[in-house]
Amino acid sequence: MTGVGGAVIDAVPPAVKDWAVAVFGTADKLALLLGMALAIAALAALAGVLEGRRRFAGFAVIAVFGLVGLAAVLGRAQVTGNAIALPLLAAGTGIAVLRWLMSRLRDWTTAPAREQPAPATAREQPAPPSPVAGPDRRRFLQALGGGAVVATVGGVLAVWLRGAAAGVSEIRSKLALPSAASPAPPVPAGAELRLDGMDPLVTPNPDFYRIDTALTVPAVDPDTWILRVTGLVEREIELDFATLLAKPMIERHVTIACVSNEVGGDLIGNALWLGWPVRELLAMAGPTGGADMVLSRSKDGWTAGTPLEVLTDDRDALIAVGMNGEPLPLEHGFPVRLVVPGLYGYVSATKWLTELKVTRFADDVGYWTPRGWSERGPIKTSSRIDVPRAGRPVRAGTVMFGGVAWAQYTGISKVELRVNRGAWQAADLAPGISRDTWYQWQRPLSLTPGQYEIQVRATDLKGVPQIEERSQVAPDGATGFHTIRVEVSP
């Protein structure tokens, strides 16, 4: 089923995917799986009805579904034995169950009706409990029980298949990461404003947004993990996990963001990443003439196309193994991912990393580019109002506003607010941890009872203000000012 789901994810137009992400947030996969479960239940019912009308018609429906599943699995970039066996097994089981249920049904309908002696006397007397109910109910319960057994066996099988992920979880929990040769610069005093209702300056791992096309989290064993550097290089390289951990690691705070983040949205997070600079590895490999892109590939075949220049300039683009002091969580790319300051995740932040192919934009494309998203994805300067939180009552007097602003790799120089489209008023900008992270800001406003529209605008350290004109997230990131309405009560 995840094979079918993956193919659905691959096939849906970006607009539909945007909609799904918007409606279901990061729970879109769960929604997709639930939707497919419902669709499968409907299909099963259809198969039952058809089989009742015409023999083998229901079997055919299930078989076709199995073949569709198989085709979907084979169409995926990464095919495993399990993935091929599952749709066949599912279809086979489905047909067997249907056959058995049909034979039970025939038994019931052809069972001879039992003689019911009419009560000899008074009509007013209630009829005795029908003896017919007994055996029929028993048959029904048998069928139900049989169904439950099949479901349980299926469930056990699924759990067994998930065992791989559990094993990797275990390995991760025992893994000790090296300390950084170059630790992160200390967080400046006052960088965290601690306003009530504001997100923490560093996002805890369990709260960190998650976006990827993987329906089941890839289980990658660090002991067998290898990163290959291929393509337009003087020397191809194969790097194993132990060798990577022995490299001089650096630790840096970097705020990463999704291109699907709406203005004011929460598909953005700030973490302390531990890793080895990508530029060091690329320098070892020696990119050759004409190369201008690195196509990074994940264990599950997903790819991102990143400008070579961004991975070789002075920014701290990392081959990351640690997130906020622990190994990467499985869903954030364990054991190794990329983190690139200044680029949206879809063109840079490959999780479950397995390959860096040095190539050219003219020759290769990342996963999302042919699906309606821009080839290049620099993060757009943006800002967000977090306080006062929507839905919290606001009383007249001094009202504290606060939020975040970001322009990774460039940095933020100022944040301003305006009320009802009036003059822009400067907010207090907290020191950022670095130019690669978001900055917190706050600004008290004195408000009398009434309705207000509040907007925020950030300007980067080159003096360029964020774009006012509203645009959608596709193809290269949303623009416009985050705007909130506040109802001030007396």
Ligand X SMILES: Nc1nc2c(c(=O)[nH]1)N[C@H]1C(S)=C(S)[C@@H](COP(=O)(O)O)O[C@H]1N2
Helices then strands, counting H and E runs in the chain, come out as 9, 19
Please name every residue paired with 298 in a beta bridge, in sequence order, or none if there are none: 353
Q: Binding ligand X by CB under 6 A: which of 241, 276, 334, 346?
A: 346
- Given a contact cutoff of 8 angstroms between Cβ atoms, the answer to whether 103 and 97 are in contact is no
* Residue 332 interacting with ligand X (CB under 6 A): yes
224-263 binders of Mo ion (CB under 5 A): 258
Q: Binding ligand X by CB under 6 A: which of 44, 211, 321, 358?
A: 211
Buried b (16+ CB within 10 A) or exposed e, 248-283: ebbbbbbbbbbbbbbbbbbbbbbbbbbbbbbbebbe
| Distance between CA atoms of residues 406 and 438, nearest Å | 4
> Where does this chain touch ligand X (CB under 6 A) — which range of 118-126, 172-180, 225-233, 349-357?
349-357
Q: Binding ligand X by CB under 6 A: which of 222, 305, 345, 432?
A: 345
| Distance between CA atoms of residues 380 and 406, nearest Å | 8
* Residue 373 interacting with ligand X (CB under 6 A): no
Give the largest Cα separation in the chain, rounded. 105
| Distance between CA atoms of residues 9 and 227, nearest Å | 26
How long a stretch of residues is the chain? 490
Q: At closest approach, how far in Å is the CB of 398 from Mo ion?
A: 38
Q: Binding Mo ion by CB under 5 A: which of 193, 211, 244, 274?
A: 211
Q: Binding ligand X by CB under 6 A: which of 51, 212, 251, 476?
A: 212
> Where does this chain touch ligand X (CB under 6 A) — which range of 115-123, 204-212, 382-390, 475-483?
204-212
Give the residue nearest to ligand X (CB): 345
Q: What is the DSSP string of 467-482?
A: P-S-B-STTT--BS--
Q: At closest approach, how far in Å is the CB of 390 from ligand X?
A: 23
* Residue 298 interacting with ligand X (CB under 6 A): yes
Q: At closest approach, how far in Å is the CB of 333 from ligand X?
A: 6
Buried b (16+ CB within 10 A) or exposed e, 433-467: bbbbbbbbbbbebebeeeebebbbbbbbeeeeebb
Residue 287 binds what, of ligand X, Mo ion, none (CB under 5 to 8 Å, by partner type)?
A: none
| Distance between CA atoms of residues 79 and 72, nearest Å | 10
109-168 binders of Mo ion (CB under 5 A): none
Indicate the residue among 315 and 351 with the shorter CB distance to ligand X: 351
193 DSSP 8-state letter: -
Indicate the residue among 326 and 468 with the shorter CB distance to ligand X: 326
Site string for Mo ion, 338-367 (x = CB under 5 A): -------xx---------------------
Q: At closest approach, how far in Å is the CB of 64 from ligand X?
A: 30
Residue 298 binds what, of ligand X, Mo ion, none (CB under 5 to 8 Å, by partner type)?
A: ligand X
27-86 binders of ligand X (CB under 6 A): none
And the tokens for 251? 């630790």
Q: Give, rounded to a whole angstrom, the gap between the first and last alpha carbons of the chain.
A: 56
Q: At closest approach, how far in Å is the CB of 323 from ligand X?
A: 8
| Distance between CA atoms of residues 226 and 223, nearest Å | 9
| Distance between CA atoms of residues 83 and 91, nearest Å | 13
* Strand duo 439-447 + 382-387: pairing: unpaired
* Residue 17 interacting with ligand X (CB under 6 A): no
Residue 190 Cα distances to 402, 433, 440, 441, 442, angstroms? 14, 10, 10, 11, 12
Give the residue nearest to Mo ion (CB): 258
Q: Binding ligand X by CB under 6 A: which of 139, 210, 247, 360?
A: 210
Kindly report whether the peptide bond that precedes residue 335 is cis, defined as omega within 30 degrees of 0.
Answer: yes
Q: At closest approach, how far in Å is the CB of 357 from ligand X?
A: 15
Residue 332 binds what, of ligand X, Mo ion, none (CB under 5 to 8 Å, by partner type)?
A: ligand X
Q: Would you call 386 helix, strand, or coil by DSSP?
A: strand
Site string for ligand X, 426-465 (x = CB under 6 A): ----------------------------------------
Element (H, E) at 97: helix 81-110
Q: At closest approach, how far in Å is the CB of 212 from ligand X?
A: 3
Site string for Mo ion, 300-339 (x = CB under 5 A): ----------------------------------------
* Residue 417 interacting with Mo ion (CB under 5 A): no
# chain residues binding Mo ion, by CB under 5 A: 4
Residue 354 binds what, of ligand X, Mo ion, none (CB under 5 to 8 Å, by partner type)?
A: none
- Given a contact cutoff of 8 angstroms between Cβ atoms, the answer to whether 107 and 139 are in contact is yes
Q: At closest approach, how far in Å is the CB of 214 from ligand X?
A: 6
- Given a contact cutoff of 8 angstroms between Cβ atoms, the answer to whether 43 and 61 are in contact is yes
Whose CA is closest to 463, among 404, 423, 414? 414
Residues that bind ligand X (CB under 6 A): 208-214, 258, 298, 300, 302, 332, 345-346, 349-352
Residues that bind Mo ion (CB under 5 A): 211, 258, 345-346
